[in-house]
Structure 1
Amino acid sequence: MSENDSKPRFRSPPYPAIDLSKAIERAKQLYSKAMHHPAGTAVLAEAWGYGEKSSGLWATAAALIHFGLIRDEGTGPKRKFTLSDIAVRIIRDADPDSEKRRDAIRRAALSPTIHSELREKFGIDPGLSDIVLKNYLTLDRADEGKAAFSDGAADDVIRIYKDSMAFAGIAISASLPPLEEGIGGDDDDDDAFDIAGIRAKRETMKLASSPVAPKQPTAPQYGERVLQDGILSRETTYRIIVKGKIGPREIDRLIKKLELDKEILADAEGEDGEEENIFS
């Protein structure tokens, strides 16, 4: 075994496979077929000209999820995709230059985790060298304890990131006001870690997974940012949105909460004889 073969290998972190401009075009194509109604993979395939099992279809769907343009629910043949409120605002706003539409586009551009991360670290500097970005993606992230990108993936990330920022017209000083009045706020209270509270939310979580439960927005609101998102399996994606400061202490609390949720899922499986996907 060579020295290179002995090095650990890992996948590059998830990122959108297409830029925001193309993603919005795909959202428009889906709207022409399904409007605001949930659509299955057959409808997506028809709208985008892919086969239902095509890797291009799933890469496109994942990209729209990254940008917060579609939401998904269910698994397997029952999996459905619905255009988000942000996507509908971008597509249907009668004034293409309205402030609310521009805000929606900016939010979509920064919705992918790696985009918000790069903007926070480097700002939007037109003169920033791609070499600086690539070194960060392929080397510096590993030094910070994060998963690094392969060279090819880093090149794709940089291109898609820059094209999306340019399309959204985001500058270093760009602010992101709320899409609607009264959304968000400056409340950064650090609530105590409440184990009993987590357990008490079990029934609420089950109700939230029911088909008649109201759908929760996946795009960050004012004062929020995407901490992490990605794909857990072909049928499951995740997104963690935070508001306020996030550091080692908050990460430790998040881990404890997830461990408790894992226990709750195990309890549910033991009681009902089969696994309950209460986080779908």
Structure 2
Amino acid sequence: MTTTDTNPPPEASKVRKERSPSFPFIGLSKALDRARAVYAHAKRHEARLSDLAAAWGMGLKSSGTIQTVAALVAYGLLEDQGSGETRKFKVTELALRALEDQRPGAREAAQAEAALKPRLIAEYVEKWKEGRPADGICISELRFERSFTEDGAKAFLKVFDDTAGFTKGAESDKKPDPATQPDGQKLGENGDKLGDKPDVPKGDHKPPLHKPPVKHTERRILMEGERELTTGMLAKGASFRLIVSGKIGVKEIERLIQKLSIDKEILADEDDARPDDEDRNPYE
């Protein structure tokens, strides 16, 4: 009696192709050029994938078109809505500021924000903030710590080097450590060297005034899958930043408006509450 082995030989089984972690296909320099081409073609209006391909001179179904779209979405330069043939794209407010804002430092700040939107790039900008190691060291770390392929690690370093350069201006604006100076001398609360005597007025001369330290607001780095839907001012000294994830359409916007209307009524009730009503549940 003979038996038949029904298991296929090892060489007949499919070998899973190695893939690197997700990161933008192109650096921010080229992504900004692509966003500029879309803006010249469609301004802030919605455009289909075919319009984007035409603006870039690429084939509609080419991998370069699909990967470029994904990169611009990852940098927050494009926002999309819908799926399949009905999927539409629009240049974001962040992209417009990164391309067109002429106010001092505004364009650089927007570009730095876009550079830090991809999670993996933001992580390594922080990790390598004192300087990126040599290529060999970086490639080994990416391969053995992050499961990159050899080619994927090299491609990531190329994208990283281009994109991380846009964060340098933002890093230079960070407040220095108030505890020390470059020479190691400790500083007081107002930035004076400890042990220094305060300026004493001589004659009619007034002592120099010390300017209060500038407070820097740290912007939240978006996580993977999140995007900035809109930002704006509410009042002097008050602004908002709407962060969303997933697909956002008309129904979701309507629900948000209803939610804000409820919050408005709650706040109005709290403002009008009498002293003896402080413990009252605003939802009753």
The two structures have a TM-score, normalised by structure 1, of 0.57
Q: What is the distance in 2 between the residues matched to 1:89 and 1:173?
A: 20
In structure 2, the partner of 1:270 is: none
Are positions 1:53 and 2:61 aligned together? yes
Amino acid at match of 2:143: T
SS state at 2:99 partner: helix
Are positions 1:121 and 2:127 aligned together? yes
Which stretches in structure 1 are left out of the alignment for 5+ residues?
142-147, 177-220, 229-237, 242-260, 262-276
Segment drifting more, 105-114 vs 116-125: 116-125
Amino acid at match of 2:122: S
Q: What is the distance in 1 between the residues matched to 2:89 and 2:143?
A: 33
SS state at 1:224 partner: coil
In structure 2, the partner of 1:157 is: 156
In structure 2, the partner of 1:135 is: 140
SS state at 2:221 partner: strand
In structure 2, the partner of 1:258 is: none
Which stretches in structure 2 are left out of the alignment for 5+ residues?
1-8, 176-216, 229-245, 253-284
Are positions 1:83 and 2:79 aligned together? no
Preserved CA contact (<8 Å) 2:44 2:90: yes
Deviation of 1:20 after TM superposition, in Å, equals 0.6
SS state at 1:161 partner: helix
Deviation of 1:112 after TM superposition, in Å, equals 1.0
Preserved CA contact (<8 Å) 2:59 2:65: yes
In structure 1, the partner of 2:165 is: 166
Residue 25 (structure 2) aligned to one of 17, 28, 34: 17
Q: What is the distance in 2 between the residues matched to 1:171 and 1:133?
A: 24
Residue deviations 1:121-179 (CA, integer Å, cap 9, x gap) = 222515x21223222211113xxxxxx21111110111110111224435766649xxx
Residue deviations 1:193-225 (CA, integer Å, cap 9, x gap) = xxxxxxxxxxxxxxxxxxxxxxxxxxxx94322
Are positions 1:223 and 2:222 aligned together? no
SS state at 1:226 partner: coil
Aligned residue pair count: 183
Are positions 1:239 and 2:226 aligned together? yes
In structure 2, the partner of 1:100 is: 106
SS state at 1:50 partner: coil
Q: What is the distance in 1 between the residues matched to 2:118 and 2:170?
A: 17
Two-structure CA RMSD over aligned residues (Å): 3.3
Preserved CA contact (<8 Å) 1:72 1:82: yes
Amino acid at match of 2:157: I
Q: Which has the higher contact order (CA 8 A, sep 6+)?
A: 1
Deviation of 1:11 after TM superposition, in Å, equals 2.3
Preserved CA contact (<8 Å) 2:18 2:149: no
Structure-2 change in CA distance of 1:13 and 1:239 (3 Å): farther
SS state at 2:21 partner: coil
The two structures have a TM-score, normalised by structure 2, of 0.56
In structure 2, the partner of 1:196 is: none
Preserved CA contact (<8 Å) 2:73 2:79: yes
Identity score, percent:
33
Preserved CA contact (<8 Å) 1:45 1:57: yes
